[in-house]
Amino acid sequence: MNPVFCAVDTATLYNAKELVDSLTGEVGGFKLGLELFMAHGAAGYRTVAASGAPVFLDVKLHDIPNTVAGAVSSLLPLQPSFVTVHASGGKAMMRAAVDSAAKGGASRPKILAVTVLTSLDSADLEAVGQGRDTKEQVVRLARLARESGADGCVCSPEEIRPIREALGNDFILMVPGIRPSWAASNDQKRTMTPREALDAGATYLVIGRPITKAPQPVEAARRIAEELA
């Protein structure tokens, strides 16, 4: 299977539909985040899901366990393949998300935990009272996520190896911050190429602008798939 989830980062249904229509069959799935989901909710989701490809619904849930369980339950009819929760919401919260997802049966969404946002550095962690080396904190939260029954986590390329070393191979790693050698880095720092990230142990790759802002998005998606083949 093509491990690339293309990020649909737009608040406009028309743009989302155009992008998804053009890339269906060229990528492994689509990632939709808060931008589109806040603007259009289930209609935004369905626009992306109409492709028939797996959908990664990146809503980063973080609330008391009962509320997160309810939120996951409300998402079940949409049948997303993956839903995110914040690992820092704690074990009971992640467990509640996992238990709620299980009620989706065979089509249940897999629960992925967001560890430390890549926008935060050690000083930022210190400021919110988590004064610890960022990588240590990421591994700690990934371990907590697994103990809570989560299926995997979202992590940056440079965190793939430390998490694999700590937790082994039976854990999904969904990895953004991917840049083919021929693409602009934009605002992403510490990137890896698609090939490097897979070799390091990534399960899936989230790739946005190198595909969506390319002069020929379909060509860009094909070039990435060829590099991974």
Residue with tokens 């299926």: 151
9 is an interface residue for ligand C5P by CB under 6 A? yes
Name which position in 47, 88, 100, 188 contacts ligand C5P (CB under 6 A).
188
User: Is residue 62 at the binding interface for ligand C5P, with CB under 6 A as the rule?
Assistant: no
The one among 50, 209, 225, 228 contacting ligand C5P by CB under 6 A: 209
Scanning 48-56, 71-79, 85-93, 206-214 for contacts with ligand C5P by CB under 6 A, the matching segment is 206-214
Identity of the residue, 13 or 76, whose beta carbon is nearer to ligand C5P in the bound complex: 13
Query: Pick from 3, 29, 33, 217: which binds ligand C5P (CB under 6 A)?
Result: 33
Nearest residue (CB) to ligand C5P, 69 versus 224:
224
152 is a contact residue toward ligand C5P (CB under 6 A) = no
Among 29, 89, 180, 208, binds ligand C5P (CB under 6 A): 208
Stretch that binds ligand C5P, among 44-52, 100-108, 125-133, 204-212 (CB under 6 A): 204-212
Clarify whether 213 is annotated catalytic: no
Considering only 139, 156, 158, 202, the residue that binds ligand C5P (CB under 6 A) is 156
User: 69 is written with which tokens?
Assistant: 């369980």
CB 134, min distance to ligand C5P, A: 12
- Among residues 17, 31, 60, 189, which one is catalytic? 60
> Could you tell me if 201 and 165 are in contact, meaning their C-beta atoms sit under 8 angstroms apart?
no
SS3 of the chain: CCCEEEEECCCCHHHHHHHHHHHCCCCCEEEEEHHHHHHHHHHHHHHHHCCCCCEEEEEEECCCHHHHHHHHHHHHHHCCCEEEEEHHHCHHHHHHHHHHHHCCHHHCCEEEEECCCCCCCHHHHHHCCCCCCHHHHHHHHHHHHHHCCCCEEECCHHHHHHHHHHHCCCCEEEECCECCCCCCCCCCCCCECHHHHHHHCCCEEEECHHHHCCCCHHHHHHHHHHHHC
Candidate segments 93-101, 131-139, 159-167, 200-208, binder of ligand C5P by CB under 6 A = 200-208
**Given CA atoms 31, 139, 98, 119 in this order, what sign does their dihedral have?**
negative
Q: Which residues are catalytic?
A: 60
Q: Would you tell me which residues interact with ligand C5P (CB under 6 A)?
A: 7, 9, 33, 117-118, 154, 156, 176-177, 186, 188, 206-210
